[in-house]
Amino acid sequence: MAKIIDGKAIAKKLRGAVSEQTAILKEQSVIPGLAVILVGEDPASEIYVRNKERAANKVGVHAETFKYPSTATEAEILDKVAALNVDDTIDAILVQSPVPSQINEQKVQEGIIPEKDVDGFHPENIGRLYAGQAGYYPIANTPRGIMTMLQHEKIDLSNKHAVVIGRSILVGRPMFALLQAANVSVTLLHQYTPATLRRELLAVADIVVVATGVPDLVMGADLKPGAVVMDVGMNRLPNNELVGDVNFVSAEKVAGAITPVPGGVGPMTIATLLQTTVELAAKHHHIELEQGWQNI
């Protein structure tokens, strides 16, 4: 049976490390500031945003949420972003995704200055990631959180082949770049990849990351025995059960290690968001954080 990778526990450790850093920043009168913009009344988004604010306050990050009705205009949101860009108490800005259809999400992401782009969605930051640039820039928190989990579990990445399924800006694309930067050979698949090809590639994948929103897309029989499976999917079934994109019951019999849903990748997203917020605050205030503090 596969080892269950306890994302909840790793996220807790990471939040502890973030608290230590905010304490050090506080000695220099720096309180990291996170601004969260929520447009509309999506119940899941409401919960995520509330959890972000709560988690932030617990680790010594000042968080402010700005809520807009589903009828808000793009200009209103862009105006708010512009004000936060020049607000010296705010080091990190994010717009909760998804946004209502009258708002161009890409335009809003581009409105956030790259220095405060805590989600790492700004084309300048994605471009740096894809160019393999050295130096610090924010990287999307879910894939970065997955890298932290792989590191925490001491999973050897050298000479490995990863299959990433899903090509969103939120997960798949940055995941591809991060794994590839760690010298993993990466294959990026998506919803139009034929099932036969997907199975052929999964059969030779040492690491599998799935972020599609399709329950049971990956079955145990698809996996290479011993594979490490990181399930980013979050699907609410009609019986209200929350499941990933991987069929857990069959996969845990074949995989070497696997993340559960819930309690796997999900909790790492918010913990990593806090980590990135603290890093942006330190950079903004020209403070060097202790080397390697993120190696939890």
Ligand X SMILES: Nc1nc2c(c(=O)[nH]1)N[C@@H](CN(C=O)c1ccc(C(=O)N[C@@H](CCC(=O)O)C(=O)O)cc1)CN2
Does residue 52 carry a catalytic annotation? yes
Q: Whole-angstrom Cα distance, residue 97 to residue 259?
A: 23
**In whole angstroms, how close is the CB of 182 to ligand X at the nearest point?**
21
**Tokens, residue 213:** 């929103």
Tell me: is residue 167 an annotated ligand-binding position: yes
Of residues 96 and 294, the one with the C-beta less far from ligand X: 96
| Of 21, 80, 91, 96, catalytic | 96
Tell me: is residue 168 an annotated ligand-binding position: yes
| Of 21, 52, 116, 275, catalytic | 52
**In whole angstroms, how close is the CB of 226 to ligand X at the nearest point?**
24
Q: Whole-angstrom Cα distance, residue 254 to residue 267?
A: 24
Of residues 30 and 232, the one with the C-beta less far from ligand X: 232
Tell me: is residue 29 an annotated ligand-binding position: no
Residues that bind ligand X (CB under 6 A): 48, 94-97, 119, 141-142, 170, 234, 242, 261-263, 266-267, 269-270
How buried is 225 (Cβ within 10 angstroms: 0-12 exposed, 13-18 middle, 19+ buried)? Answer: exposed
Does residue 6 carry a catalytic annotation? no
**In whole angstroms, how close is the CB of 96 to ligand X at the nearest point?**
5
Tell me the CA distances in angstroms from 142 to 70, 86, 231, 279, one per residue in order. 26, 27, 11, 16
Residues written for the chain: 296
Does residue 119 carry a catalytic annotation? yes
Closest CB to ligand X: residue number = 266
CB 164 within 8 A of CB 179: yes
Q: Whole-angstrom Cα distance, residue 100 to residue 13?
A: 35
| Of 80, 109, 117, 119, catalytic | 119
**In whole angstroms, how close is the CB of 11 to ligand X at the nearest point?**
8
**In whole angstroms, how close is the CB of 93 to ligand X at the nearest point?**
10
| Residues that constitute the known binding site | 166-168
Residues taking part in catalysis? 52, 96, 119
| Residues that constitute the known binding site for NADP(+) | 166-168
